[in-house]
């Protein structure tokens, strides 16, 4: 059975640099701000909150992953931890499908679980290639990929490209 699978994670060095910088800088700047503002020493709860939130964001980003599978049944995806279970779009729910180059910032406002007004929803982690699905309901969904050629070959082998 012909099948395409891909798992993507946020691996951009600049994103991790921003997150680590935030984890270091935020507690340092906020503890100074809080102690000056209140004129009292910062308590254990405040320190835990100030340090904990950036660490939780870092953990969230390390858990985020986009899983895509294409087979004879349809297109399956999961953007964990946004989706705890796999979502499936059956082939007879799809009006059209095309692997295309897109502009993440201009069309969707960046990467992640995004919603563009003209272009519909997008699930993307990095890059500028994705599977554009036009659903029979009129909705659009773009699923990002780092394996555009392999995805396109699988769709052709399944007799689903272009729809």
Per-residue pLDDT of the chain (163 residues; tens, 9 = 90+): 689 999 998 665 656 576 667 766 666 665 555 555 555 566 777 777 777 777 787 787 778 899 999 999 999 999 988 778 999 999 999 999 999 999 998 999 888 888 877 889 999 988 899 999 999 999 999 999 999 999 999 999 998 876 6
Residues in the chain: 163
Picking from 63, 91, 106, the residue at the C-terminal end of a domain is 63
Domain that holds residue 21: 9-63
Tokens for 44?
């254990």
* DSSP-assigned beta bridge partners for residue 34: none
Q: Are residues 84 and 119 in the same domain?
A: yes
What is d(CA 27, CA 32) in angstroms, rounded to the nearest whole number? 8
Q: Are residues 34 and 58 in the same domain?
A: yes
What is d(CA 11, CA 121) in angstroms, rounded to the nearest whole number? 22
Q: Are residues 13 and 82 in the same domain?
A: no
Picking from 63, 85, 109, the residue at the C-terminal end of a domain is 63
């Amino acid at each position: 059975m012909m099948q395409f699978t891909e798992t993507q994670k946020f691996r951009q060095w600049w994103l991790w640099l921003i997150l680590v910088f935030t984890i270091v800088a935020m507690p340092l700047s906020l503890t100074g701000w809080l102690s000056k503002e209140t004129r009292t020493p910062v308590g254990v709860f405040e320190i835990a909150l100030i340090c904990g939130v950036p660490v939780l964001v870092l953990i969230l980003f390390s858990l985020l992953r986009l899983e895509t599978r294409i087979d004879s049944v349809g297109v399956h995806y999961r953007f964990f931890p946004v989706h705890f279970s796999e979502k499936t779009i059956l082939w007879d729910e799809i009006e059209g499908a095309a692997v295309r180059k897109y502009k993440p910032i201009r069309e969707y406002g960046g990467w992640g679980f995004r919603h563009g007004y003209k272009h519909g929803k997008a699930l993307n982690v990095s890059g500028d290639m994705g599977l554009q699905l036009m659903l029979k309901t009129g909705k659009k969904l773009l699923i990002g990929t780092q394996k555009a050629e392999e995805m396109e070959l699988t769709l052709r082998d399944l007799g689903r490209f272009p729809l």
